[in-house]
Amino acid sequence: MHGVSGKGITLYPPAKVNLYFEVLAKREDGYHDIRTLMMPVTLYDTLEIELTDGPGITLGCRGLGAPEDRTNLVHMAAVRFFERTGLKRGAALSLNKRIPVAAGLGGGSSNGAYTLMGLNRLLGGTLEQEELFSLAEGLGCDVPFFLLGGPALAEGRGERLTRVDFVPPVWLVLVCPDAQLSTAGVYQNLRLTKESGDSKIKSFRAFLSRGTQEGGLKRANDLEESASSMFPEIDNLKEMVRDVGAGWVSMTGSGPSVFGIFGDARAACKAYLRLSQATGLMVFLAQGIAR
């Protein structure tokens, strides 16, 4: 989603959920080989980009807390874009955060990807798609995914992406506790098992074939055990989401947010209202973006 006016553009970077998440092995470079099915959802930040005539990047943030310095992926993406293109231009960027930070929803990665796309659009497609993906991969494992605009299977460190067309625009409710988990910390505490394989994608496809009404894995995300050891409330939140009728319930990313998939909009709305009233946490009603 975007709007363009003069030297500026307004973009709406979405959150994502990991419909399932498998950790396959630890790599020699310190990362892990994973396999996960990701889907963007209709929970958005707002990113405004305006080109400036002279070099330099400025960033202002409002909404849910996000840094305004060079550690923000918006700032990093803009700097690297101009370094790659060699253009002696700059940008004034403004970010309104609605996606919770460090919650497993990929908000920072989405912001970085949309910064690259927005600058490239404003500058007439200076970079080819392959170059944009290269820049995105250098910013983080999840960043390239947000350049695709729909569901994808991510493998390797998350950089090998394959579009998928079998996931419908399901209705979801997201529950985001007031906690932040370090992805590095979750991986550090991870206990690899031999349970990962093709069982999770088979289980998810079987769930879809039943009309998203029932069935689901106890742990569709291999990072849940580690994340739950750091924040035990995750398991309780999953049970609450199941109790309001979700057919598939999982933690997303490295947590601590959890989500449930519902059979239709009405069921999801009822669950959203019940969870909002019962938990006092940030609860979001969203739909998957199928393409």
pLDDT digits (tens, 9 = 90+) for 32-89: 999 999 999 999 999 999 999 888 999 999 998 888 889 999 999 999 999 999 999 9
- Identify the weakest region by mean pLDDT among 15-24, 132-141, 192-201: 192-201
Residue 129 has pLDDT above 50, yes or no: yes
Residue 214 has pLDDT above 90, yes or no: no
Residues annotated catalytic, as ranges? 16, 142
- Identify the weakest region by mean pLDDT among 1-10, 28-37, 254-263: 1-10
Split at pLDDT 50, 70, 90, the class of 198 is: low
Residue 197 has pLDDT above 70, yes or no: no
User: Span 239-265, mean pLDDT?
Assistant: 96
199 versus 217: which is more confidently predicted? 217
Domains in the chain (CATH in brackets) are: 2-162 (3.30.230.10), 165-287 (3.30.70.890)
Q: Write down the pLDDT at residue 194.
A: 57
Split at pLDDT 50, 70, 90, the class of 6 is: low
| CB-CB neighbours of 256 under 10 Å | 27
Residue 251 has pLDDT above 50, yes or no: yes
- Token duo for residue 194: 């031999």
d(C-alpha 194, C-alpha 205), whole Å? 21
- Planar angle of CA 120, 125, 127, nearest 5 degrees: 75
- Identify the weakest region by mean pLDDT among 18-32, 107-121, 140-154, 275-289: 18-32
Residue 23 has pLDDT above 90, yes or no: yes
Residue 220 has pLDDT above 90, yes or no: yes
Cα-trace Rg, the chain: 19
Residue 4 has pLDDT above 50, yes or no: no
Residue 235 has pLDDT above 70, yes or no: yes
Residue 138 has pLDDT above 70, yes or no: yes
Compute the mean pLDDT over every residue in the chain, rounded to the nearest whole number: 92
User: Span 160-167, mean pLDDT?
Assistant: 96
